Amino acid sequence: MLASLNWMKEYVDINVTPEELADKLTGVGLEVEQVIHLGEGLEGVITGKVETIERHPNSDHLWICMMNLGQGELVQILTGAQNVSQYDIVPVAVVGSQLPSGMKLKKAKMRGLDSFGMLCSAEELGIDSKLLLPEQRSGIFILPADTPIGIDVKPVLGLDDVVLDIDLTSNRGDCFNILGLAREAAAVLNSDLKMPDLTVKETADGQAAAMAAIKVEATELCSRFAVRVLKNIKIMPSPAWMQKHLRACGMRPISNVVDVTNYVMLELGQPMHAYDYDKVGMHTLIVRRAAAGEKLVTLDSQERILEPSMITIADTTHAIGLGGVMGGLETEVTNQTMTVLLEAATFNGPTIRRTSKALGLRSEASGRFERGVDTVLTHNALNRAAHLLEQMQACETVEGIVESYPIEYTPAVIKVTAEAISKRIGTIITKKEIIRILQKIQFAVSEEGDDTLIITAPSWRPDVTCDADISEEVARMHNFANIASHLPRLDIVQGRQAVIEDVRDAIQDYMVTAGLDEVMTYSFIHANAFDKMQLAQDDNRRKAIEIINPISDEFKTMRTTMAPSLLAAASYNLARQHTKVGIFEVGRIFIPKSLPLTEFPKEHQVLCAVLSGKRNELNWNESHEDVDFYDMKGVLEGLMEKLQVADYKLIPVAEPFLHPGKSCAIECEGKIIGYFGEVHPTVEENFELGAVAYLLEIEIEPLVAGATTIPQYQRLPKFPSTSRDIAVVVPTEVSMAELEKVIRANGGELLTNVKVFDLYTGKQVAEGCKSMAFNLTFQDNERTLTDADIDVVIKNIVNVVSETFKAKLRD
């Protein structure tokens, strides 16, 4: 924010240099980034009056001006400007004066005649042309007719001012105005704060309530809305003093009515808007949500397409303004305006921010509403604006204010002890000093008992809601520089991360080692992702959280599965001629307990991976086959081995996005924790993969109990191993995983490995059965095994398998 020091001085006595004030404000949390001296480099330029003006005899574009500089004799100055007339008062750079550009004025000769100075334009005086009226931007800067002659031009144009460029944090909307900054300056300088004059004469005929009506329909978006009626409006330029203040704060003067609304916004922090009373249908203002597709031409002459999330100000027929952002062109105040409806309101900050972003339309008003505007300011702002226009003799105010106040302000009351404040700050501050500090920044304080304080935050500080906020206020006004630094007195303990994070790291390390590339995708997906995945309408994964302010329409939904994100990433890479795609991500999915949300959703950490394309990049000494189901199965098995998770099995699954005959669910300790398999051909087509793809998704948390990330030492065997093959005939529905699990469980300590090497169905086995052949490896760390040792184990395995699965040993 740009803040005029001259303007601040109207409300507080400042007895320090601008740089010292900047340091003090920065010390209490209002960071002053720059101190700007507006008239820096401008010396010796004074006001002068054109007593006579005539053409140069030797030039068709030069003029000879005889200037009254208030020093008795007239001074001859030549100019090429064409906008100068007799009796104009203008800035004059006399011989010896200096301009901000560094140029020093000397006597000059122009077409044979001497010129003892120069008439100055705004640009030559260092004034930004964007802050001037169109007629002031070119040619010589013409000063008001009542400007004294022969005085320094700096105070006339406000160039004797100093501007503080302050970087305000988002919670300090109370300082986004001159009075708020003056309040802080008064506190740090131990000075008194003066208040602006809010008196209104109300001399016009009638009652405001009989002339205007308001209705707040969207009460959740507008907590207070009020208007005043001003009659007999006279549109004219604002007084010079007001224009100086506006320019110093970076705003261009336009006309008295518009300037007053901007002035009050800069002064008090309350955005305002003026409507031409006669252009408002039924003289009624309605605060409502916009209709979908509703159109509004704003003051910048741009047509805006509105959405239902936006606040509109409407009359009885259509929208005439965009609440909190910008007014409509149709009801703009013009030179023909006779009566004005003056509005001040409190709008919902987050809604204003989203509207500004959606429309690409930021304004001084929207920036203030985003930070939060003091609800109590509404009447003060209306009265201040009316007072200023009355002072200019530019209006007559109708009696009364028309108002809707659906959500009344309730001050925050906080109970805290002086001991707690001192403990949190880290230095001892007495209760008496705490009370003094808080009262200095206009917090109401009462005492309860020996050490307890009951504190009421002022209306302009909605960010102060708890004892920690009170401690911060005390600390900053005590000045952080006055708080001594202390090393923390803590026991030093070895830190470590949670077990689930160890498992997560181990998973990421393994997946990279397995040859996959890690990707990072958004936690949001397109709403149509569930349709592309072929999820049924009653599938719980469709119960997803919708984002109120998405970064784009493509990312409106918080994901309940990571599969769409990874399939989209695979499609992106395959479309760019990557023949081998192996990607994975360890991220979060978000499962709401109910919709609409009443509490935070459950977040699950999940591993998701996709394989597609070729097994290897094109190379002369490597095969170039496509990846298949067993590549993904190998990734899963290697991961489980890495995490030393043994108690899991693969069972049939019916996921709509997986191929029904080439997919499995992953079961761990009786619970389904994931799935893998070939992506359904329709889903492949929906995601435009262009190749067969294999998908794995597994929850991480259920793995934690059985996983270990600490390598386990195993002594190398000294004695030889031996193997036996067995083939068993079992019913077709018995899975290899079930059979293998039983074999391992009953093989004892001597059985070290089990491998399937054959699967047969055909004439040599009974109908409804299949034959599976296993290679069993046996070994003992203490001795060489005999055939008798192995026979005992084999017999036990065969007996249990036969009993469990009604299996028969195949010859």
For 722-809, CATH gives 3.30.70.380
**Span 694-747, pLDDT tens digits:** 999 999 998 887 777 667 767 788 889 999 999 999 998 888 888 888 998 899
For 2-38+162-189, CATH gives 3.30.56.10
In this prediction, residue 709 carries a pLDDT of: 67
Q: What's the whole-number mean pLDDT along residues 410-423?
A: 94
- Given CATH 3.30.950.10, say whether it is the number of domain 43-157: no
Distances (CA, A) of 90 to 45, 100, 115, 464, 655: 10, 17, 16, 51, 83
pLDDT above 90 (res 781): no
- Contact status, residue 48 vs residue 150, Cβ threshold 8 Å: yes
Domains 2-38+162-189 and 413-479 are alike in CATH topology: yes
For 208-404, CATH gives 3.50.40.10
Tokens of 291: 């209709």
**Would you give the DSSP letter of residue 57?**
T
**d(Cα 93, Cα 116) in Å, to the nearest integer?**
9
pLDDT above 90 (res 493): no
Domain 499-704: what homologous superfamily?
Bira Bifunctional Protein; Domain 2 (3.30.930.10)
**Span 514-539, pLDDT tens digits:** 999 999 999 999 989 999 999 999 99
Compute, in degrees rounded to 10, the torsion defined by CA atoms 67, 69, 75, 76: -40
**d(Cα 609, Cα 582) in Å, to the nearest integer?**
7
Structure-token match 């990072």, residue found: 520
In this prediction, residue 242 carries a pLDDT of: 96
pLDDT above 90 (res 680): yes
> How much is the pTM?
0.67
**Would you give the DSSP letter of residue 482?**
G
Question: Distance between terminal CA atoms of the chain?
Answer: 91
pLDDT above 80 (res 87): yes
- Contact status, residue 686 vs residue 530, Cβ threshold 8 Å: no
**Span 626-635, pLDDT tens digits:** 899 999 999 9
In this prediction, residue 735 carries a pLDDT of: 83
**d(Cα 505, Cα 26) in Å, to the nearest integer?**
43
**Span 425-456, pLDDT tens digits:** 989 999 999 999 999 999 999 999 888 999 99
pLDDT above 70 (res 585): yes
Compute, in degrees rounded to 10, the torsion defined by CA atoms 732, 738, 744, 747: -50
What confidence category does residue 771 fall into, taking pLDDT thresholds of 50, 70 and 90?
Answer: very high
What confidence category does residue 256 fall into, taking pLDDT thresholds of 50, 70 and 90?
Answer: very high
With CA atoms as reference, report the closest residue to 644 among 778, 757, 510, 779: 510
249: Cβ contacts below 8 Å, ≥ 6 apart = 1, 2, 3, 4, 7, 163, 178, 266
For 413-479, CATH gives 3.30.56.10
For all residues of the chain together, what is the average pLDDT? 93
Structural domain boundaries in the chain: 2-38+162-189, 43-157, 208-404, 413-479, 499-704, 722-809
